[in-house]
Structure formats: C-alpha cells, structure tokens
C-alpha cells in the first residue's frame, strides 16, 4: 500500500469465521472462497490455522499455491511446532505471512495460559524471531489486548517489533471496547512505543456489543492501516467486524473518512451469498449492505421519495454492492443464453455441466411458479452448489399429512452411491420426514433449530428452510429451498447432516 489513506483489508472468514459453531467449510469451498476474495481485491487472506488439522494445512497450502496477488496468511500459536507448520503451509504463496499470537491480559495469562508476565514476554520475542526467520512478513497479536495492562502491552509490542514483526494487530478479542476507548488505545500505543512507525498497525474487533465496525473505523482514524474482518461478520459468538460494512463505510463517507480499500464492491453481494451458502448461516434480512431488505422500501412515504429521486432514501446504489435492480425478468420461456447471462449478473460462473443442471432446475421451477425472481434464482443455484460432493443426497419424498393422521413420510435417499427407501411416522409431517432420514442414516445429532421463510412473496413462493443439528459438541447448519416446504425441510436436514458427519470425521482425523 503506497498512500497513507490506503487501508489493507485482511479477511479472516476462513479462519476466525470458520470457528463460529457450525460454520465449517470443506476443502473445495475454501478454495472457491479464496479465489473470490482475491478477485475482489482483498489484500491479505487468512486462510486457516495450519496446525489445527491436516485439512486446514492442506487448504492453506493449496490456496497459497493458487494465489497471485493476495498475501496468504496462516495463524500460529507462539509454539515452535505451530510456527513451523504454518511456514510450511504458506511457503508456496507469492506473498506468505505468518500470524502468531499469545494472550497478554491478566485473566488470560492466569486462567488460560497459566504463565507469568516474564514467560509471556519471552515467548513473544522467541516466536516472532522464529517466524521472521522463516518468512519476511510476520504479524503479531496480543490476544485480549483491550483488557491488557497498558505498560505490559507496550513491552510485549516493543519485543515483537524488535524481533522482526512487520504488522502489529490489536485484538478486541471479547468485543469489550467502545470506539473512543479503542481509538485512544491505538493512538497511545503508537505514541508510546519506539519504532512504531516501522510497522503497520491493525484492528481486529469482535461484535459482542455490536461495535466491531465502529471500533475498527475508530482504530483507522487513530492510525491503523489494516482492518481484520469477515464476510457477513461471521465469527465466534457475535462475530467480527463485517468486511462489507467496513468497505462501504469508507466508500460512502469519503467526506469524513478519507480512506480507500481498493475492494471491488460489486462482488460484495456475491461473497455474502457464497459464505451464507457454504456455512448454512442465513443473512439477516435487515443486515447492512447485503441483507435482503437493505435496498427494500415498504413505507408509502419512502416509496414516494424513491420514485421521485432514489437519493431521498438510499445512500448508495444497489449496483455498487452487486445487487441487481431488476427482479422480474425470468420465466418459463426464457432461454439458456439469457439464463446464463442472468446468473453471471448475480455473480455466478458455472461450468457447462453445472449450468445445464441449474437450467433444468430453473425450468422445473418456472413450471411451478408464475414468476421467477432474482431471489428464487439465487436460492436455486445456492441449493444446487450446496449439494455438490455430499455423501448423502435427496432423491424423492412423498408425505401423507392432515388432521386425521398418522402423518407419514416415504423418502428415498442415495447414501454413498446406494439408493435407500424407508417409510416412517411422526408427530406431524416434518417430524415424520426427519424420522425417515434418521432411519436411513442413524446419527447422534439433535435438532437445535428449524426455521422456515418464504424466498419471495406469494403463495407459490419457494420455502427456504434452515436446520441446525448439534451432537458430540459439534454443530452444523444446513439450508435449502424448494416450492414444497417439506422437500426443502428434508434437503436442509440432509445438508446439515452431511456437514455434521464431515466435521465429526475431521475431528477424529485431527
């Protein structure tokens, strides 16, 4: 970054984001997300925690091999083994980085590390020096920095800089700080520490009090030039600073925030949909920038203003973030070429086989619905992409329901290539469907969430169902859509079950 107003965007969706319960990603999903992030112009991609598992190591390594312009970063604790493993994973990147950390707050040192201040200080210097001997770009973080004693924090940062750190990140690990306090902390550290001008200062803010984006911006105003964030604000507990919100805040408010990120904002909506599909985490309707209602207007006063001049109620254009203004252009008479162009305008680039399958599904949907909206197409393609590579797949479902009972479900699944059919009863049609799936694929997961909403308006709208399964300390989200609510429910349950099984095997391997 050459200009003092340039902000480095550090995306940690595949590392901190994946730590969110139930948000695990497969190897291929990480590769696809990595390619999109680089195409967006993300400067640093934290691709994973290489020492955590063989799967994480392989994903970071492959993303590093494929990278062309972005810095590929791996996370490592302050132990020699972690740092060596991380270096091995990122070594193929054109721009490799090791991000190492250790806790510095009294509560973390006492209860988590069980280490004294001198031992932590020694670990800082040793770990950073080891990392710097392996790669030229080293980031260091004092975990729980905002609850660390200021003088000790200064000593640790000074040791990290002296040992070769090139970026100093100040994490608000538990989302405890507020903007004025966090900005003052960055400013005070830069003033108190010798050679502070020789490193890039970074923010990493969690959203426990809903202040992650505000704190990140305050940090930038105080001199930080890197912002660590995630797509959709994904992350542990209440999540992280949302990349799309940080980027658009700088884009829209250049008058008071004279900073630039260089991010291709027209890909923000695509990235949001991809992360939502991969993790199974729905994006809340009123989510800033990428939520379904972000550019929707229902109030008569608002609608009147919009018809006269869009600037009356919109501070940015939908197209700026990749949201199409057109919502009703596809129907059963639409051709393959128009369908492909429409998908591309929505941010999807499918190979010929996937395009053919999506077009077939679109035609089936168009026969059932009078109008096919953009949201219908997004749900359709997301549903198709979610099923790629899963060992359990849906084939057919027939349900008997009504007030007389009993409610029964006759379902056909393909498990590891073998077609299996079973009929089961339940306390209602959804319960019968889930009982039937469990009869074919026995598992210890318990239903933790079942949520249904309509993708668009009307009685012929597609139902989008979200399911969360929990078992053996593992959580997995699944999501699917279909004009038939029960079919969508079955597919969502199967999607969650596939992810639950994949996470269980990943844990066993680790």
Query: Looking at the domain assignment, is residue 284 inside a domain?
Result: no
Question: At which of 385, 416, 435 does a domain end?
Answer: 385
Is 191 found in the same domain as 58?
Answer: yes
Q: What is the pLDDT of residue 472?
A: 79
CATH number of domain containing 504: 3.30.160.270
For residues 185 and 262, membership in a common domain is answered with yes
Query: Nearest 5°: phi and psi at 373?
Result: -90, 170
In a domain, 285, yes or no: no
Domain assignment of residue 494, yes or no = yes
pLDDT at 325: 61
Q: Are residues 493 and 444 in the same domain?
A: yes
> Please, are residues 101 and 78 in contact by the beta-carbon 8 Å criterion?
yes
User: In whole angstroms, what is the distance from residue 240 CA to residue 271 CA?
Assistant: 16
Give one DSSP letter per residue of 63-132, joined into a string.
HHHH-SSSEEEEEEESSHHHHHHHHHHHTTSSSEEEEEEEE-SHHHIIIII---HHHHHHHHHHHHHHHH
Q: Is the pLDDT of residue 288 over 90?
A: yes
Q: How confident is the model at residue 291 (pLDDT cuts 50, 70, 90)?
A: confident
Q: What's the pTM?
A: 0.79
340 inside domain: yes
Antiparallel, parallel or unpaired: β 167-172 and 474-482:
unpaired
Identify which of 454, 455, 451, 322 has the alpha carbon closest to the alpha carbon of residue 376: 455
pLDDT value of position 1: 44
- With bands split at pLDDT 50, 70 and 90, how would you rate the model's confidence at 388? low
Do 68 and 193 share a domain, yes or no? yes
Q: Are the beta carbons of 296 and 492 closer than 8 angstroms?
A: no
Q: What is the mean pLDDT of residues 9-31?
A: 91
Most confidently predicted of 216-230, 362-376, 391-405? 216-230
Helix residue spans in 113-263 (DSSP H): 117-134, 150-162, 179-192, 212-221, 243-252
Residue 299 lies in a domain: yes
Give pLDDT, residue 305. Answer: 59
What is the per-residue pLDDT for 84? Answer: 98
| Predicted pLDDT at 296 | 66
- Say yes or no: 421 and 460 in one domain: yes
**Which residues constitute the domain of residue 354?**
325-385
Q: Are residues 241 and 133 part of one domain?
A: yes
Q: Is the same domain home to 170 and 103?
A: yes
* 172 lies in the same domain as 118: yes
17 and 153 both lie in a single domain: yes
Q: How confident is the model at residue 318 (pLDDT cuts 50, 70, 90)?
A: confident
Residue 250 lies in a domain: yes
Q: What is the pLDDT of residue 328?
A: 46
DSSP 500: H
287 part of a folded domain: no
Q: What percent of the chain has pLDDT over 70?
A: 93
361 and 372 in a single domain? The answer is yes
The H or E element that residue 275 is part of is: helix 268-279
**CATH number assigned to the domain comprising residue 198:** 3.20.20.70
pLDDT tier at 298, thresholds 50, 70, 90: very low
On whether both 337 and 253 belong to a single domain, the answer is no
Averaged pLDDT, 456-469: 85
Q: How confident is residue 500, by pLDDT bands cut at 50, 70 and 90?
A: confident
Report the number of distinct structural domains present in the chain: 4
Asked if 269 and 150 sit in the same domain, the reply is yes
Mean pLDDT of the chain: 90
User: Six-digit token pair at 432?
Assistant: 């019968």
Whether residue 326 has pLDDT greater than 70 = no
Residue 286 is assigned to a structural domain of this protein? no
Distance (Å, whole) CA 181 – CA 457: 45
């Amino acid at each position: 970054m050459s200009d003092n107003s340039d902000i480095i965007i550090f995306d940690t969706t595949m590392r901190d984001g994946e730590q969110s319960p139930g948000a695990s990603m497969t190897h291929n999903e990480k590769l696809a997300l990595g390619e999109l992030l680089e195409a967006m112009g993300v400067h640093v991609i934290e691709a994973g925690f290489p020492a955590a598992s063989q799967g994480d190591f392989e994903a970071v390594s492959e993303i590093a091999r494929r990278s062309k312009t972005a810095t590929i970063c791996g996370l490592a604790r302050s132990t020699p083994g972690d740092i060596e493993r991380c270096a091995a994973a990122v070594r193929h990147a054109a721009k490799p980085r090791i991000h190492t950390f250790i806790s510095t707050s009294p509560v973390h040192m006492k209860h988590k590390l069980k280490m004294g201040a001198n031992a932590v200080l020694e670990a800082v210097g040793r770990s950073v020096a080891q990392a710097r001997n392996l790669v030229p770009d080293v980031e260091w973080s004092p975990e729980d920095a905002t609850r660390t004693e200021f003088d000790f924090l200064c000593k640790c940062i000074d040791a990290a800089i002296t040992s070769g750190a090139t970026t100093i990140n100040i994490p608000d690990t538990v989302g405890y700080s507020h903007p004025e306090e966090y900005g003052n902390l960055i400013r005070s550290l830069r003033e108190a520490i010798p050679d502070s001008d020789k490193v890039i200062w970074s923010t990493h803010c969690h959203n426990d009090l809903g202040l992650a984006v505000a704190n990140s911006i305050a940090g930038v105003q105080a001199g930080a030039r890197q912002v660590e964030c995630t797509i959709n604000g994904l992350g542990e507990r209440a999540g992280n600073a949302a990349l799309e919100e940080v980027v658009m805040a700088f884009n829209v408010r250049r008058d008071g925030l004279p900073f630039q990120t260089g991010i291709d904002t027209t890909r923000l909506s695509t990235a949001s949909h991809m992360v939502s599909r991969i993790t199974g985490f729905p994006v809340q309707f009123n989510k800033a920038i990428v939520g379904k209602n972000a550019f929707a207007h229902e109030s008569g006063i608002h609608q009147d203003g919009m018809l006269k001049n869009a600037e009356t109620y919109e501070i940015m254009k939908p197209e700026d973030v990749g949201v199409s203004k057109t919502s009703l252009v596809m129907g059963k008479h639409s051709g393959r070429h128009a369908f492909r162009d429409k998908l591309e305008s929505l941010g999807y680039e499918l190979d010929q086989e996937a395009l053919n399958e999506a077009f077939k599904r679109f035609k089936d949907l168009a026969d059932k619905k009078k109008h096919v909206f953009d949201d219908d197409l997004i749900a359709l393609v997301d549903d198709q992409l979610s099923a790629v590579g899963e060992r359990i797949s849906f084939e057919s479902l027939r349900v008997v329901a009504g007030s007389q009972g009993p409610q029964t479900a006759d379902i056909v699944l393909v498990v590891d290539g073998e077609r299996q059919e079973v009929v089961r009863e339940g306390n209602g049609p959804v319960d019968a469907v889930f009982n039937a799936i469990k009869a074919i694929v026995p598992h210890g997961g318990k239903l933790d969430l079942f949520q249904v909403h309509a993708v668009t308006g009307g009685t012929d709208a597609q139902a989008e169902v979200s399911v969360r399964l929990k078992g053996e300390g593992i959580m997995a989200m699944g999501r699917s859509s279909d004009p038939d609510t029960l079919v969508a429910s079955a597919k969502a349950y199967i999607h969650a079950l596939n992810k639950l099984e994949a996470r269980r095997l990943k844990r066993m391997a680790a």
